Amino acid sequence: MTAITKKSLLIIDDHPVYRDALSEKLALEFVTDGIDVAVASSAHEGLELIEKTNKHWVILLDILMPGLSGLAGIKVFKELSQVEEVVAISGLDEHAWEPKAVSAGAAMFLSKNNTAEFIIRKLRPLVTHQPDNVVTREAVEKKDFRLTQRQTEVLDLISQGHPNKLIADYLGISEQTVKIHINQIFKELRVFNRTQAVLKAQKHQLLL
C-alpha cells in the first residue's frame, strides 16, 4: 500500500489581523482534507517551527516583512527538504513582483487584494496533491527533478502544443511569468527546447 504523507500549510506574515483571519479561513476549508494550518509571525519563527517537525510543508510567505523576507526568503525556504512549495503573498504590485517571485523559486504570487476564496482556489492543488511515496525506480527518477506544481502545469500545457499566450490565459498568469517557468523547466530538465522537454517529461512520467 502506498504511504500517504499529508502536507501542512504554514502562513508566515507579520500582520496579525490578516494572518489570523486567513489561517482561520484556510483551516476551515482544508480540515476535511486532513491538512493542518500553522502560523508564524516571522521567517525566523517559521524556520524554527519547520525544524521541529517531520511534516511536508507548503509555505505561504509574506515577502514584505522585517528581517528575512522578499526574494531571499523564498530561496531560503525552497532549500529546505521539508518544504514542498513556497507561495509568495504581498500587497506589492502583482505584475511587477510575480515574475521576480517565480524566478526566485515561488510556485506563484498571490496578491493580498484577492479574496480568501480566490486564494483557497489557487492553493488547493498545491496542498491536496499527494506525493508518490512508492519506492520504485520511476519514483526515484521523478525525485531527480524538482519541478513546482505550477511548472508541471506549464509543462503539461506545452505537451498539448499550446503557445505561451494560451498557457498564460489558462493559468491566469502573465506571458512573462510563463517564460520564466519555461526557462526554469529547461534548466531543471537539462534540455534546450520544448520538444526535448516534452520527450524527457514523457520518459520520466512528469506530466499530469
Domain CATH number, residue 168: 1.10.10.10
Same domain, 98 and 55: yes
- Average pLDDT taken over every residue of the chain: 85
Residue 21: inside a domain = yes
Q: What is the pLDDT of residue 129?
A: 63
Same domain, 89 and 170: no
How much is the pTM?
Answer: 0.67
Residue 2: inside a domain = no
Same domain, 114 and 25: yes
Domain that holds residue 49: 7-128
Give the whole-angstrom CA distance, residue 67 versus residue 53.
Answer: 23
Strand 7-12: give its sheet, edge to edge: 37-40, 7-12, 56-62, 83-90, 108-111
The amino acid sitting at 130 is Q
Confidence tier at 157 by pLDDT (50, 70, 90): very high
The mean pLDDT value for 163-177 works out to 93
Residue 24: inside a domain = yes
- Percent of the chain exceeding pLDDT 70 equals 89
Residues 59 and 26 sit within 8 Å (Cβ to Cβ)? no
**Helix, strand, coil shares of the chain as percentages rounded to 5?**
55, 15, 35
The mean pLDDT value for 184-193 works out to 87
Same domain, 117 and 53: yes
Number of domains in the chain: 2
